[in-house]
Structure 1
Amino acid sequence: MPKISGIVKLDMSLSEVHQQECIVACRMFGPGCFGGEPFFVAKEPDNPDADEDDGYIVSHVHNEKTRESRFLVMDAKSPTLEIICVLKLPHRVPYGFHGLFVRESDINKL
């Protein structure tokens, strides 16, 4: 299982049009820290006029040195993917764990 040591946000249109670097944001988790699959969560999922990256990047991160796990909420628009919230997890989440975010309105339709 590969270990994810950080998150990189790409803008592929920069590469196609301007022939320039397409990395527009980056967050490394630090020495001995590895994360799970990052997810984008829109601030306003029902707003068709919202910017494409108007929301949050979320991921769990495990520190192999301290054996502590945390859930990170990062600003998706920030060039450093600024951490805006950190939650300490009571248990370790395994690498490779997949998640799915579903709106309450979609669940209520079931």
Structure 2
Amino acid sequence: MWVGIVKLDLSLAVIDSNNCTVASRFYEPGWFGGEPFFVAKEPNDPAADEDDGYLITYIHEENGAGAKFLVMDAKSPTLEIIATVKLPRRVPYGFHGIFVSESDLNKL
């Protein structure tokens, strides 16, 4: 479980080995999240920027009943929340997902 997300640019470690953080978002006190996932806006565009997409994750209130699904702008230095979905119950820590394209699903 995590209290937030930090985005690193390891190429900056050559310049300053103590700071390669380029974006971060910390959750509200008492809220914790699971593993975040990156979802590209244009997954089939080879010219798209590496971080042109969304970070998504589940968070929940450790000492309460609150649970949310967050969608964040991966390019934003504050990992700006662009959508929040209130969930009826918490998603367990360690819950993993997989993202496949529609064409891959059609092959099944």
Give the TM-score category using the shorter length: over 0.9
**2:50 is matched by which residue type in structure 1?**
E
- Where does residue 2 of structure 2 map in the other structure? 4
- Where does residue 46 of structure 2 map in the other structure? 48
**1:58 is matched by which residue type in structure 2?**
I
- Where does residue 30 of structure 1 map in the other structure? 28
* Contact 2:65 2:89 (C-alpha < 8 Å) held by counterparts: no
Per-residue CA shift, 1:5-32, capped at 9, x if unaligned? 100000000102x125100000001211
Distance 2:2 2:22 in 1: 18
Q: CA deviation at 1:73?
A: 0.1
- Where does residue 16 of structure 2 map in the other structure? 19
* Contact 2:24 2:77 (C-alpha < 8 Å) held by counterparts: yes
Distance 2:90 2:78 in 1: 25
Q: CA deviation at 1:48?
A: 0.2
- Where does residue 70 of structure 1 map in the other structure? 68
Per-residue CA shift, 1:15-71, capped at 9, x if unaligned? 02x125100000001211000100000000000000000000000000123311000
Relative to the length of structure 2, the TM-score reads 0.94
Q: CA deviation at 1:105?
A: 1.5
- In structure 1, stretches of 5+ residues that fail to align are none
Relative to the length of structure 1, the TM-score reads 0.92
RMSD: 1.0
- In structure 2, stretches of 5+ residues that fail to align are none
- Where does residue 103 of structure 2 map in the other structure? 105
Distance 1:106 1:31 in 2: 40
* Contact 2:33 2:57 (C-alpha < 8 Å) held by counterparts: yes
